[in-house]
Amino acid sequence: MVSDVVPPTRTDPLVAEASEAVGGPVGDHHAPHPFWRPVRVVLAVVAITFALGMVQKTPCVQDHWSGDKSRYAHMCYSDVPYLYTGRGFAAGYLPYTDNGGRYPALEYPVLTGYFAYGAALVTQALSAPPPDPAARSRASSSDVFGLPGVAQESWRYFDVTAVLLAPFALLAAWFLSGVHRRRPWDAMLFAASPALLLAGLINWDLLAVTAVTGALWAWSRGRPVLAGVLVGLGTATKLYPLFLLGAFFVVCLRRRRMGDFWRAAGAGAAAWLAVDLPAMLSAFSQWKSFWSFNDQRGADLGSLWIVWSQAGHTVTPGQINLVSWLFFAAVCIGVLVLGLTAPRVPRVPQLAFLVVCGFLLVNKVYSPQYVLWLLPLAALARPRWRDILIWTAGEVFYFAAVWLYLGGYTASASSGQPDRFYWFAIIVRVAAELYLAAVIVRDILRPWHDPVRSDGLTDDPADPSADEDATPQHALLAGPRHATG
């Protein structure tokens, strides 16, 4: 029986050329392997990539996360071990509760905070001898590191967090492989990505990535309520999963199926509120730290704003907020117009990528792990290895440059001169994101270039509400219908 899975060696020119080293593209009469089905291969690859990501952090682990030289020179930095002592986890404080002013409020949404706290409990349960809770509860953030066993725990805390995050990487890959039933190999763009290897363990962003991929999977199965719940849970880990509702809105409006959107939005709001409400009621000032922190922060790492400010231009947080939100609103309006006027109804990942990319382009900060926000959306929006590799190259270049910048390797602080190499890296990253966004916009306007529907006529196979009669086809007549793009 011939599999109906779309083989990348026959549809992706770069993969087809690379396959010549192992015998060429798959033949017409090939039979699927009895065990190594595409999903299992994807899961095996993501496991290897994640394991290599842990290995990549080895220099920092061996240095006990104690030296700037190691974490920047070896590019192995992670927020995880530092926040263990810096936000009260080592002292046993539950996030979003009153800690007597001994620790800064945790500047993360609640599900991230609770996950980090759970990892702290596991870490302390594995510690011997067990920690003294009374002594720790009296310690402040400046002296908790000196308490017996805390230094070793902070190192172990990273290992525990990595082990707990590994299933989320696997689950995200599984979700991606199931969004398009005939295109499970598209998930390989996520599973084998250098971006996942390098950035997967910098922070807890894989939680939000899994929620987003799960929402896309649920939407493709015609389950808008479940998709909304996962969007709500994702928004309780990071803000950006909320933007997925914008893509749902455009598609539902175009297809005149707004009931699906309202069910998703309502379920998302309920899920978010159910998770956040306990923290809001127990310590509202602690809960809102995520929002106030991001509102008050100025131009920060990786953003175009830091280039602007370091070039000598004074800009206040309020001015950045205003300009950023105006630009983002313009992007959202542009995506709406694009979605309503395109020859075919755009695919949800295409619209979602454009919205999230627009948000990141003018955000106050672009931390190195933010590449994970775009990675699964890019894999589904433009499943072509050439374009994904071009974009990834820009992201990896920025990843290297940011650690060189923080370590002072590309500009001397004593010289008083700004680090122009770091500026260049930021611009390269932005250019790479704009390149991929432009290709996706081209695919929307000329759907015969879209790898998922290269004939230009088929609807999104991941949209169960697709209706061939819902969209006019006259605009397709101007272009070829069988280009591989």
- What does 182-224 look like in DSSP terms, one character per residue? T-GGGGHHHHT-HHHHHHTTTSSTHHHHHHHHHHHHHHHTT-H
Q: Determine the residue type at 65.
A: W
CA distance 275 to 257: 28
* Residue 66 binned pLDDT confidence (cut-offs 50, 70, 90): confident
**381: nearest Cα among 350, 357, 407:** 350
**What percent of the chain has a predicted confidence (pLDDT) above 90?**
66
pLDDT at 100: 77
* Of residues 315 and 70, more confidently modeled: 315
CB 410: neighbour CB atoms within 10 A? 16
Question: What would the two tokens of residue 344 be?
Answer: 């075919």
pLDDT at 408: 87
CA distance 217 to 16: 27
* Residue 478 binned pLDDT confidence (cut-offs 50, 70, 90): very low
pLDDT at 70: 78
Task: Say whether pLDDT at 131 is over 80.
Answer: no
pLDDT tens track for 71-116: 899 999 999 999 998 888 888 889 998 877 788 889 999 999 999 9
Span 247-276, average pLDDT: 97
CA distance 134 to 159: 25
**237: nearest Cα among 215, 214, 204:** 204
Q: Which residue, chain included where needed, has tokens 């999104």?
A: 460
pTM of the model: 0.91
CA distance 304 to 126: 43
DSSP run (H or E) holding 468:
none
How confident is the prediction for the chain on average, in pLDDT? Answer: 88
CA distance 231 to 349: 14
The top-scoring range by mean pLDDT among 7-11, 152-156, 357-361 is 357-361
CA 33 vs CA 1, 37, 243: distances in Å: 11, 6, 39
At 423, phi and psi to the nearest 5? -60, -45
pLDDT tens track for 176-218: 999 998 899 999 999 999 999 999 999 999 999 999 999 999 9
* Residue 317 binned pLDDT confidence (cut-offs 50, 70, 90): very high
pLDDT tens track for 26-46: 656 566 767 778 999 999 999
Q: Which of 92-101, 145-154, 177-186, 406-415 has the lowest mean pLDDT?
A: 145-154
At 34, phi and psi to the nearest 5? -65, -25
Task: Say whether pLDDT at 415 is over 80.
Answer: no
Q: Which residue, chain included where needed, has tokens 């190594």?
A: 36
Domain ranges of the chain: 33-478
CA distance 251 to 484: 24
